[in-house]
């Protein structure tokens, strides 16, 4: 059955902007995040504490946290692949951190320069320290429905990685269809396999929309009881280590779906669209969201 309420995790400032070729100004990033909070989003992924040589677009995350006018009740989070990243997040007073692993060996090597087993060894102290500091920790699993290097990934393999992150102490597991190849039936098999080892209310779904299936997959996940959904305003996004992967599902499209389903989410669609047009204009393009384009044309 559908959940009565969904928590939207807005990943545009991180997943979206990490993949932009040019460097967006700190002022523009700050304004985007403040507009998103103003639209009612209660969880915003601000950036990543990662190597600036690997992802230069996220190098100003600490500064961005420092400049941000934080809104009461909004959770501002960041990616932290190792203890150095966690130090940055703690100094920045992030409200939640995320470790990010993968269900594919090759992707793990390409994205974070270590094997899946090594990644778990690196994440464990990050999770312990973050929790000791009172922070919640999200655990991402990438390539849950396919890998750019290895092709299909078995649900059982995803479940193993998700369970390791859960056993380690992650509070929530976000399942990433990094290259957006999933379809609803495969989404169902995935959620069923993972929900057998992690409570379904602790799962989030994270769909990239490369093949235009994200909304259909999200609907399927909702029907199975998932109530946390990641999305990026204007459909920004991708992954620098997954060639050909396009943006996340657009938050505008997700909000329109939830409105149609009568599921609560707390976001003002008009103000959200404004944030999407703002950032898209800065990037010299249009939002990928059909909802946003349709509403603008009215
Ligand atoms: P490494 O080279 O193996 O790390 O990279 P290292 O520990 O050997 O350190 C090498 C250098 O990086 C050193 O600097 C460190 O200080 C520095 P040097 O002495 O050479 O000048 N360094 C750092 N600097 C700042 N912050 C840090 C940090 N750690 C090391 N935290 C590492 C390993 C994980 C650091 C690297 O591979 C990396 O930064 N990867 C980031 C990849 C990334 O951000 N990918 C995108 C996010 S994941 C994603 O998009 C998928 C997701 O959306 C879900 C989905 O869609 O599936 C989440
Ligand atoms: Mg992603």
ipTM: 0.98
- What pLDDT does 77 receive? 98
Q: How many angstroms separate the Cα of 97 from the Cα of each of 80, 150, 200? A: 6, 28, 20
- What pLDDT does 237 receive? 80
Helix (H) or strand (E) holding 178: none
Q: Cα(76) to centroid of ligand 2, in Å?
A: 17
- What pLDDT does 244 receive? 66
With a 6 Å cutoff on the Cβ, whether 166 touches ligand 1 is no
Q: Which residues of the chain have pLDDT under 50?
A: none
Determine the atom of ligand 1 nearest the C-alpha atom of 100.
58
Is 114 a known active-site residue?
no
- What pLDDT does 1 receive? 87
CB 22 within 8 A of CB 242: no
Among the bound ligands, name the one nearest to the CA of residue 81. Answer: 1
- What pLDDT does 241 receive? 67
With a 6 Å cutoff on the Cβ, whether 57 touches ligand 1 is no
- What pLDDT does 239 receive? 57
Protein residue closest via CA to atom 14 of ligand 1: 51
Which of 51, 62, 140, 158 to probe ligand 1 with, by most ligand atoms within 8 A of CB?
Answer: 51
- What pLDDT does 20 receive? 82
pTM of the model: 0.97
**Which tokens hold the place of 38?**
């103003």
> Which distant-in-sequence residues (6+ apart) come within 8 Å of 298 by Cβ?
none
Which residues face 138 on adjacent strands? 98, 172
With a 6 Å cutoff on the Cβ, whether 253 touches ligand 1 is no
Radius of gyration of the chain, Cα coordinates, nearest whole angstrom? 17
Among the bound ligands, name the one nearest to the CA of residue 98. Answer: 1
- What pLDDT does 22 receive? 73
**Distance separating alpha carbons of residues 110 and 105, to the nearest angstrom:** 9
Protein residue closest via CA to atom 19 of ligand 1: 51
CB 104 within 8 A of CB 149: yes
- What pLDDT does 29 receive? 98
Torsion angle of C-alpha atoms 267, 268, 270, 273, degrees rounded to 10: -20
With a 6 Å cutoff on the Cβ, whether 82 touches ligand 1 is yes
CB 292 within 8 A of CB 273: yes
């Amino acid at each position: 059955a559908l959940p009565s309420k969904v928590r939207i995790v807005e990943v545009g400032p991180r997943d979206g902007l990490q993949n932009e070729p040019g460097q967006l100004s700190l002022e523009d990033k700050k304004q985007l995040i403040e507009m998103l909070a103003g639209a009612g989003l209660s969880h915003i992924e601000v950036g990543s504490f990662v190597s600036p040589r690997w992802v230069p677009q996220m190098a100003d995350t600490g500064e961005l946290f420092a400049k941000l006018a934080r809104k009461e009740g909004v959770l501002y989070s960041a990616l932290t692949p190792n203890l150095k990243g966690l130090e940055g997040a703690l100094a920045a007073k992030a409200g939640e951190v995320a470790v990010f692993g993968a269900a594919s060996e090759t992707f793990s090597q390409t994205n974070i320069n270590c094997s899946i087993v090594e990644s778990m060894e690196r994440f464990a102290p990050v999770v312990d320290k973050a929790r000791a500091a009172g922070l919640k920790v999200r655990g991402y699993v990438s390539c849950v429905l396919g890998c750019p290097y290895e092709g299909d990934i078995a649900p059982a393999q995803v479940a193993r990685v998700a369970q390791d992150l859960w056993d380690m102490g992650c509070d929530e597991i976000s399942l990433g269809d990094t290259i957006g190849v999933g379809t609803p039936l495969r989404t169902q098999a995935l959620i069923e396999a993972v929900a057998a080892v992690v409570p379904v209310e602790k799962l989030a779904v994270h769909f990239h929309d490369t093949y235009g299936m994200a909304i259909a997959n999200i609907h399927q996940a909702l029907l199975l009881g998932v109530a946390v959904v990641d999305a990026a305003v204007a459909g920004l996004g991708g992954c620098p280590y997954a060639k050909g992967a396009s943006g996340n599902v657009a938050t505008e499209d997700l909000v329109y779906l939830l409105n149609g389903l009568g599921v609560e989410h707390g976001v003002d669609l008009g103000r959200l669209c404004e944030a999407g047009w703002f950032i898209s204009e800065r990037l010299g393009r249009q939002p990928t969201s059909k909802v946003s384009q349709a509403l603008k044309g009215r």
